[in-house]
Amino acid sequence: MKEVDEIRQAVVDQMQAAIKMLIARYPDIDEAEARRFVVQQFDFINADPNEVFTAERVVERYEATTARGEAGDHQMREKLAKLIYRGLSERPRTQSLQYFELMHAFQTATGISLSQHAQELVAIIDQLQEKGYIRWENMGGKMPLIFQGIDFDEWTRKVNAEKDSAVSVTYNLFGANNRVNNHSVDMSTNVVNENGDVQEYLTALRCAIEGAQLSSTERQSALEIVDEIDAQFSSKEPKKSVVMALLAVLPKVADITTIVGTIALFLK
């Protein structure tokens, strides 16, 4: 019991030290904001077996977050929201999505640790809770739990509406009369032939990723995701849930999104 108390006190000491360091280095941050950030980081770092909670590590995370923007990367927040929605929608309303499950799903989909995007997760959790879509429950040092919120049904309607919109207008990239009209006045739309070869669309997807304005890391990650999608379609029975999860985390760039919507049609 004494050892447990000593461990708890050591954690409290590190949290207090982190708060003081943040206030000392960033005079504009008030104590309440610093404390909130430190507590959130403790939950995330404590849930990651590859991380060790120290005051210095918390300050490093704050500096990294500040460097890429107060709320982090908008595209990454969208990807996290999709993973959270998918995890919650696939289970009964009263069953929680555990944090380690979200970590695993993120690692599988992106190849990177969720702990690297803790601030984006904090931002999207706050946003989803404010809308009533989810309920985030801290477990006092244990891994947090995520539950469907009181307005989760509204989130479901919104997601379904976006899916319907995404597949209602698609472009024929191959075959007779194929064309893509980017920044032009041609308003015509071709109908996708669902019996076409998905490999052609995967090739087009790779080309779109290569031509998109992405960092080398983002481009490599996206191409690896396409390889995983390709492997699924190469199997006799591709898993719809896996393919849709992979498609969902690809960069939200116009040409890429268009092809993603087309590839999704092959899963019907």
pLDDT tens-digit series, residues 148-161? 999 999 999 998 88
Q: Distances in Å between the alpha carbon of 118 and those of 29, 59, 186?
A: 19, 13, 43
Average pLDDT of the chain, as a whole number: 78
Q: Which helix H or strand E contains 172, and what residues bound it?
A: none
Q: Distance between CA 137 and CA 152 in Å, rounded? A: 16
pLDDT of residue 131: 94
pLDDT tens digit string along 199-243? 888 888 888 888 888 888 888 989 999 999 988 888 878 888 888
Q: Distances in Å between the alpha carbon of 239 and those of 6, 106, 139, 243?
A: 48, 18, 33, 6
Token pair 């919109």 is found at 165
Q: Distance between CA 90 and CA 46 in Å, rounded? A: 26
Taking the model in full, what pTM does it have?
0.47
**Contact of 180 with 255, CB cutoff 8 Å:** yes
- Give me the mean pLDDT over the 45-58 stretch: 76
Q: Please report, in angstroms and rounded to a whole number, the separation of the first and last CA atoms in the chain.
A: 57
Helix, strand, or coil (residue 97): strand
Q: Identity (one letter) of the amino acid at 267?
A: L
Contacts of 134 (CB under 8 A, 6+ apart): 84, 88, 125, 128, 146, 147, 148, 149, 152
Q: Identity (one letter) of the amino acid at 109?
A: A
Asked if residue 52 has pLDDT above 80, the reply is: no
Asked if residue 101 has pLDDT above 70, the reply is: yes
DSSP class per residue in 102-170: HHHHHHHHHSS-GGGGHHHHHHHHHHHHHTTSEEEEEETTEEEEEEE-TTHHHHHHHHHHHHHHHHHS-
- The alpha carbons of the chain give a radius of gyration, in whole angstroms, of 22
pLDDT of residue 138: 75
pLDDT tens digit string along 178-196? 444 444 444 444 434 343 4
